[in-house]
Amino acid sequence: MFFASKILAFALQPLGWVAALFALALLLLHKRRRLGLAFGWSALALLLLIGWQPLPDALLRALETRDPAPAWTADPAAPEWQHYAGVVVFGGALEPAWVRAGNGQVALNAEAERMTMAVALLRRHPSLRLVFTGGEGELHKTGEPEAVQAREFFEGMGVAPGRMKFESRARTTYENAVLTAKLPGVDKEKRWLLVTSAWHMPRSLALFRAAGWNVTPYPVDYRTGLATPWTEYSLAKSPARWQLALHEWVGLLVYRVAGRA
């Protein structure tokens, strides 16, 4: 499943589709000029369409609004906090180990709120524990799973080592759910807050619940608001949003077909 997810991620890059259409256009121009031109113009039209941000944002918004956090979580004094064992935090917010090679610093990426919100929750609620799940999800192996950097980050933020547990083998969301449940001292039947990006929450929540976890969504790292202005256009940002949205929707479908979610 890990290698299949990597192949899927590669295939779901919209700019790759544009490149494929341009390649077909070049191949066909010599012998079938009209068809080649059609592919070329199609590639250009697709490229221009990809840059219009409201389209990928609509797909992301549909994911981000599916599983909101319960209303009581907005109140730090709510009694419900006392009923939770802790927070389960997904990896993905840290740059690969090779990025920090030579400087030794922990580097956060655009999904940093998974980490920073976890710290905030632990500071507000001393009874909560933290469980981090994230192995080495890169094809280029360095021998340092993401959990190593995560431990360094949380300890640097002042979280007591006794409040934390780390799962360091998971490479996919399915493995996050299954392998984290096997950690010593972690009871998946207790109540846990599931902390991950809002667009990643539907797939994560489905997989964790299918694995028997008693989890409540606590989405962070929102990429869309109530609406995206129709004037938003970027050939730098929009392709990444397209890839993110397509990866999540297709991944959710694949896991459901496979009976895992």
Residues 24 and 138: their CA atoms lie apart, in Å, by 31
Are residues 204 and 99 part of one domain? yes
CB count within 10 Å of CB 13 equals 16
Same domain assignment for residues 207 and 96: yes
Phi, psi of 6 (to 5 degrees): -70, -40
**Looking at the DSSP assignment, which residues form a beta bridge with residue 144?**
none
Q: Is residue 125 part of a domain?
A: yes
Q: Both 144 and 207 in a single domain?
A: yes
- Whether residues 210 and 239 share a domain: the answer is no
CA dihedral for 172, 98, 9, 234, sign (positive or negative): positive
Buried b (16+ CB within 10 A) or exposed e, 100-136: beeeeebebeebbbbbebbbebbeeeeebbbbbbbbb
62 belongs to a structural domain? no
Looking at the structure, tell me whether residues 36 and 88 fall in a common domain.
no
122 and 195 in a common domain: yes
Show the domain range for 105.
Answer: 73-220
Residue 43 resides in a domain:
yes
One domain for residues 115 and 25? no
236: in domain: yes
Place of tokens 């991620």: 9
Whether residues 32 and 85 fall in one domain: no
**Do 166 and 241 fall into the same domain?**
no
Distance of CA 13 to the CA centre of its chain: 16
Query: How many residues does this entry show for the chain?
Result: 261
Tell me, what DSSP letter sits at residue 224? -
Task: Give the CATH number, domain containing residue 85.
Answer: 3.40.50.620
Task: Tell me, yes or no, whether 206 and 238 share the same domain.
Answer: no
> In terms of domains, do 215 and 238 share one?
no
Whole-model pTM: value is 0.90
- DSSP, residue by residue, 119-178: HHHHHH-TT-EEEEE-----SS--S--HHHHHHHHHHHTT--GGGEEEE----SHHHHHH
pLDDT of residue 12: 83
Q: What is the mean pLDDT of the chain?
A: 93
Given a cut of 70, the residues of the chain with pLDDT beneath it are 1-6, 137-143, 261
- Model pLDDT, residue 4: 64
**Cα distance between residue 104 and residue 97, in whole Å:** 9
Task: Establish if 199 belongs to a structural domain.
Answer: yes
pLDDT tens per residue across span 40-93 = 999 999 999 999 999 999 999 999 999 999 999 999 999 999 999 999 999 999
* The predicted structure's pLDDT at residue 31: 85
Q: How many structural domains is the chain composed of?
A: 2
Same domain membership, residue 200 and residue 109:
yes
Q: What is the pLDDT of residue 136?
A: 84
**Residue 163: inside a domain:** yes
Measured CA to CA in angstroms, residue 45 lies from 10, 39, 48, 50, 69 at distances of 21, 10, 5, 9, 39
Whole-angstrom distance, CA of residue 197 vs CA of residue 113: 8
pLDDT at 6: 64
155 lies in a domain? Answer: yes
Identify the pLDDT of residue 259.
80
